[in-house]
Amino acid sequence: MSRILGIDFGLKRIGLAVTDPLKMFAQPLETIQATTFPDWLKSYTNNESLDCIVVGMPVNLSGEDTDATQYVKQFIEWLNTNYPQIPVEIIDERFSSHDAQQQLHTMGLKKNQRREKGVLDTVSATLILQTYLQKIA
């Protein structure tokens, strides 16, 4: 059974989440260095089938582009060029980092653990993917 991959894109790190095979739940996968993503995705797609990839699109509170928006658009173009067989969906991620911080606080993680950027990126990717699952339900 195939899965859906959720991505919180950053120039330094990329947070990743994936659905269960029934595509009911989003679960954290890992955070990787952005430079290793092409090799990571090639390896992942050799072992797992993906129905689609969901990428969080950064916008500010008014819905306008941020400084990071153009980089995410370029990343999506790269995905479409290199993996044309896998549809790419876009989800508004304007609250994902804030919501991820709240989730980590609710989970009882200590302040220094919540500041770990890799954990935040993975939780953000999970929230992006969960938002997509709720949208298609």
The angle subtended at Cα 122 by Cα 40 and Cα 124, nearest 5°, is 125
pTM of the predicted model as reported, rounded to 2 decimal places:
0.85
CA 39, CA 125: separation in Å to the nearest integer? 19
For residue 62, the model assigns a pLDDT of 74
Helices 96-106, 117-136: crossing angle, 10 deg rounding: 110
Q: Please write the tens of the pLDDT for every residue from 11-34.
A: 999 999 999 999 999 999 999 999
Q: What structural domains and CATH numbers belong to the chain?
A: 3-136 (3.30.420.140)
